[in-house]
């Protein structure tokens, strides 16, 4: 029997955990697989082993693992496969297939533009847009976020846009924000984050400190959250995983 196991990042904030679970459950309703479970890599329960074992207890013989992550960083490349490798050793009779993160997807530009236009009526030549990702030491994360920023700029003719990061990659959000002080009248901050959590709270504190020393208008957009476009991207990744012919060897 087949099972789908969705792996979210996890957060200490209950609101963020509930948002992640609700989003995945919306997608679950569109997929015809008998067993469907949600788990978290860290900071929340159930853990990956707990989710994996629940699938087995419900009768799963094949588990399709889908990472609910925006970009392909070390969590997706290393941490989740490490957990799955250990579980395969414990349960060698279970076949495992491992899917892809959201990654660079053309539809994402339209979602980001909707988030921007919800907060501002127009983007002028004196506006600077910051696309802010979580960040990672993995260079693919920097490359992919810059590609997403480029796609957004090309689709909607944004005059000035820059990708930056909260941790692990450069340039940092704080650095880019301060460097924009002398050049732009308005800065539009677009968090490339799925849901609420400590990271978005930290961004709000950074902006609060910044506006005390600047006359610029700083506009913070919403996280990606519940959205039909994001749901379609995840459903695409789910279907790719279900159609994978080879089982994963970790």
Q: How high is the pLDDT of residue 227?
A: 86
pLDDT in tens, 61-70: 999 999 999 9
Architecture of domain 108-220 in CATH?
A: 3-Layer(aba) Sandwich (3.40)
pLDDT in tens, 21-33: 888 988 888 899 9
pLDDT in tens, 109-119: 999 999 999 99
pLDDT in tens, 216-238: 889 999 999 888 999 999 999 99
Say if residue 1's pLDDT is above 60: yes
Strand residues in 68-216 grouped as ranges (E): 95-98, 127-133, 161-165, 186-191
pLDDT in tens, 138-179: 889 999 999 999 999 999 999 999 999 998 889 999 999 988
Mapping DSSP to helix (H, G, I), strand (E, B) and coil, where does residue 91 land? coil
Q: How high is the pLDDT of residue 247?
A: 61
Say if residue 16's pLDDT is above 80: no
Q: How high is the pLDDT of residue 250?
A: 55
pLDDT in tens, 120-149: 988 888 899 999 999 888 889 999 999 999
Architecture of domain 2-102+227-242 in CATH?
A: 3-Layer(aba) Sandwich (3.40)
Domain ranges of the chain: 2-102+227-242, 108-220
First and final CA of the chain: distance in angstroms? Answer: 21
Give the rounded percent of residues in the chain with a pLDDT score beyond 90. Answer: 65
Report how far apart, in Å, the C-alpha atoms of 71 and of each of 1, 112, 193, 204, 229 are.
Answer: 30, 15, 10, 22, 16
**Predicted TM-score (pTM) of this structure:** 0.88
Q: How high is the pLDDT of residue 108?
A: 92
Which of 10-14, 34-38, 86-90 is predicted least confidently?
Answer: 10-14
Both tokens assigned to 209: 């400190």
> Hey, do 2-102+227-242 and 108-220 end up sharing a CATH topology, with the first three levels equal?
yes
Say if residue 248's pLDDT is above 70: no
């Amino acid at each position: 029997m087949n099972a789908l196991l969705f792996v979210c990042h996890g957060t200490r904030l209950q609101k963020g955990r509930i948002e992640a679970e609700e989003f995945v459950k919306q997608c679950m309703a569109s997929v015809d697989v008998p067993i469907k479970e949600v788990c978290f890599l860290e900071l929340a329960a159930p853990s990956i082993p707990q989710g994996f074992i629940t699938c087995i207890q419900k009768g799963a013989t094949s588990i399709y693992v889908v990472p609910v992550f925006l970009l392909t960083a070390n969590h997706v490349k290393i941490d989740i496969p490490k957990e799955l490798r250990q579980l395969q050793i414990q349960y060698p009779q279970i076949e495992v297939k491992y899917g892809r993160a959201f990654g660079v997807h053309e539809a994402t530009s339209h979602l980001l533009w909707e988030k921007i236009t919800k907060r501002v009526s127009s983007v002028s030549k004196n506006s600077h847009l910051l696309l802010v990702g979580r960040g990672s030491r993995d260079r693919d994360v920097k490359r992919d976020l810059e590609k997403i920023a480029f796609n957004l700029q090309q689709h909607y003719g944004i005059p000035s846009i820059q990708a930056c990061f909260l941790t692990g990659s450069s340039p940092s959000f704080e650095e880019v924000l301060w460097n924009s002080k002398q050049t732009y009248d308005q800065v539009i901050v677009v968090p490339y984050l799925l849901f609420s959590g400590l990271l978005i709270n930290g961004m709000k504190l950074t902006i609060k400190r910044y506006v005390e020393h600047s006359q610029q208008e700083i506009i913070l957009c919403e996280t990606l959250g519940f959205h039909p476009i994001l749901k379609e991207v995840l459903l695409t990744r789910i279907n790719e995983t279900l159609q994978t012919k080879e089982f994963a060897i970790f």
